[in-house]
Amino acid sequence: MKASLGNRLIAAAVSQRDNVHSNNTEEGMKIAWRRLTAVGTMILAVVGAPGCAVFMVGAGAGIGAGTVSYLGNEWRVSREVSIDRAWEAANEAMKEMEYTIIPAQTRKDKTSGVVQGRNASDQMVRIKLVRRADRLTDIYVRVGTFETPANKTAGQLLYEKMNKHL
Query: What is the spatial distance between Cα 106 and Cα 11, in angstroms, rounded to a whole number?
Result: 51
The verdict on 76 and 157 lying in the same domain is yes
Cα–Cα distances in angstroms (integers) from residue 56 to residues 25, 29, 70, in the given order: 30, 24, 7
| SS3 letters across 11-50 | HHHHHHHHHHHHHCCHHHHHHHHHHHHHHHHHHHHHHHCC
Count of domains forming the chain: 2
- The tens-digit pLDDT sequence of the chain (166 residues) is 445 555 665 655 555 545 544 445 666 666 666 666 665 565 655 555 444 444 444 433 334 557 899 999 999 999 999 999 999 999 999 999 999 999 999 999 999 999 999 999 999 999 999 999 999 999 999 999 999 999 999 999 999 999 999 9
Q: Are residues 138 and 71 both part of a single domain? A: yes
| Residue 35 and residue 85 in one domain | no
Same domain, 32 and 78: no
Contact 46, 5 (CB under 8 A): yes
CA dist 15 and 108 (Å) reads 51
Tell me: do 158 and 85 sit in the same domain: yes
Q: Are 134 and 70 found together in one domain?
A: yes
Q: How far apart are CA 114 and CA 96, in angstroms?
A: 17
Q: Which domain holds residue 33?
A: 1-50
Can you give the CATH number for the domain in which 62 is found? 3.30.310.80
Distance CA 36, CA 16 (A): 8
